[in-house]
Structure 1
Amino acid sequence: MQQFEKKLLYILLLFGLISIPFSLRGKNYKNWVIIFLLNSYSNTFVAPILAEKKFLLYPVRLLPKIYKSSIIYDYCLCSLVSVWYCRSTKSDHWLNSFLKVWLFSIPQAIVEKWLEKHTQLIKYNKGWTWIHSLLTITTAKLAVRSLLPLMNWMDENSKHSEEPHTKTS
C-alpha cells in the first residue's frame, strides 16, 4: 500500500511545482509570493506541533527523518490554495471574503478526510477530526488574507514615494 501513497505524493509534488509559477504570476505577483511564503512559514510552526503532539500522524511522507509532517502539503499545496483564495478575494469586502473562504477550505478539508480514510498519508488521532482541520484551514486562510489590505496600502505608498515631485513656481 505504501507504493500507492509514495506515487500519490510525487504526483501531488509535481502538481504543486507546476502550479506555483502560474499561481504567482500577474500584476500583484509580489503579494502572491508574500502570501505563499507567509502561509508556508506559519505551517513551519503549526504542523510540527500538531504532529509532535500526535493529533495528526503522517505514516507515509517524504523526508520522514527530517520532518514529522507533510512537507508537500505544508510548504506547497496548502500555500497554493491560500494564494488562490487571496487572488479570488483581492477586491472583495471582508464579508464576501469570509463567505468565499469556505469555498476553498471545505474542499480542502474533504480531500484531507478522504486521504485520512483511504490512505496512510494522514491519520487523525487524540480526538482530532475533519472539523478541527476545517477550522484550522479556514482560520489560517483568513489570517493570511487579512494582510492583503496592508500589503496593498504599502504598495500604494511605495508607488507614491517613487513618483517624481515637480516644483511649481
Structure 2
Amino acid sequence: MNFGLEEMISMVAAVISLLLFIFVVDWKYFREWVVVFLFKALLDLIWGSPVVSLNLIKYPIRLLPHYYETSILFELWVFPILCILYNQVTRQRGLWPIVYYALLFSAGITAIEYPLERYTDLIEYIEWSWLTTFYTLTITFLISRSFIAFYRWGCDYFRYK
C-alpha cells in the first residue's frame, strides 16, 4: 500500500475528528447529536454526489474509490462532526450568533480546503471555487441548525400527545 501525503492528511483528519467527537462533544445531548450527525451525513450525500456527478469537483484520492466518487471521509465523518460542534456552540444562542458561527466554521473549513485543493490530490475544483465552498458550507450549517431546532420543537410538542 502506497502511503503518501494525501493518505496522511486523511488519516490525521479522521483522527482529529474522532478526538473532537469523543472529548469535545457534550454527550448529555446525545439524542440531538445523533440526529444532527445522521441528518448532516444524509444532506451531504444528497448534495455532494450531484456536485461530483456534474463535474464541479473531483476527488482524485478518496476512500473506497470503486464505490464512491465523493469524499466519504469528509461527507460522512469530518463534516457531520463539525456540524455537531457548530450546533453545540449555537445551542443556546440567538439568530445573529447562529449566523456568525456558521460563517466562522465555514471560513475555517474553506481556509483548510483551499490549500488542499491547490497542493494535494484530495480535491480538485473544476467548475467550483473557494467562494462556492464557503457559501455552500454556510448554507448547510444553517440548514442543520434549522433542522435541529425543528426536531427539538417536535420532541417538545409531541412529548405528551
Q: Deviations over 1:20-42 (max 9, x none)?
A: 34455422211111011100001
- State how far apart, in whole Å, the 1-side matches of 2:3 and 2:55 are: 20
Root-mean-square deviation (CA, aligned residues, Å) is 1.9
State whether structure 2 residue 147 is matched by structure 1 residue 147.
yes
**How many percent identity over aligned positions?**
23
Distance (Å, rounded) in 2 between the aligned partners of 1:34 and 1:24: 14
In the TM superposition, residue 158 of structure 1 has moved relative to its aligned partner by: 5.3
- Tell whether the 8 Å contact from 1:50 to 1:56 is kept in structure 2 after alignment: yes
- Offset of 1:118 from its aligned partner? 1.3
Contact 1:51 1:57 in 2 (8 A): yes
Contact 2:37 2:80 in 1 (8 A): yes
What does residue range 1-169 of structure 1 map to in structure 2 within 5 Å? Answer: 3-22=4-23, 24-126=25-127, 128-157=128-157, 161=160
Residues 35 and 83 in structure 1, CA contact (< 8 A), matched pair in contact too: yes
TM-score, normalised relative to structure 1: 0.86
Which SS does the other structure have where 1:27 is aligned?
A: helix
CA displacement at 1:80 relative to structure 2: 1.0
Residue type matched to 1:95 in 2? W
1:151 is displaced (CA, Å) by 2.1
AA partner of residue 6 (structure 1): E
Taking structure 2 as the reference length, the TM-score comes to: 0.90
Q: Residue 25 of structure 2 contacts residue 88 of structure 2 at CA under 8 Å; is this kept in 1?
A: no
Whether the 8 Å CA contact 1:23–1:80 is kept in 2: the answer is no
State how far apart, in whole Å, the 2-side matches of 1:158 and 1:28 are: 18
Deviations 1:5-63 (A, max 9, x none): 11221222222234334455422211111011100001111111111111111111111
AA partner of residue 33 (structure 1): V
Aligned length: 160
| Counterparts of 2:52 and 2:114, CA distance in 1 | 16
Q: Within 2, Cα distance between the matches of 1:136 and 1:36?
A: 18
1:113-155 CA-partner distances (Å, limit 9, x unpaired): 01101111001002x1000000110000000101232222233
Q: CA deviation at 1:106?
A: 0.4
Larger Rg: 1
Listed as ranges, the gaps of 5+ residues in structure 1 are: 163-169
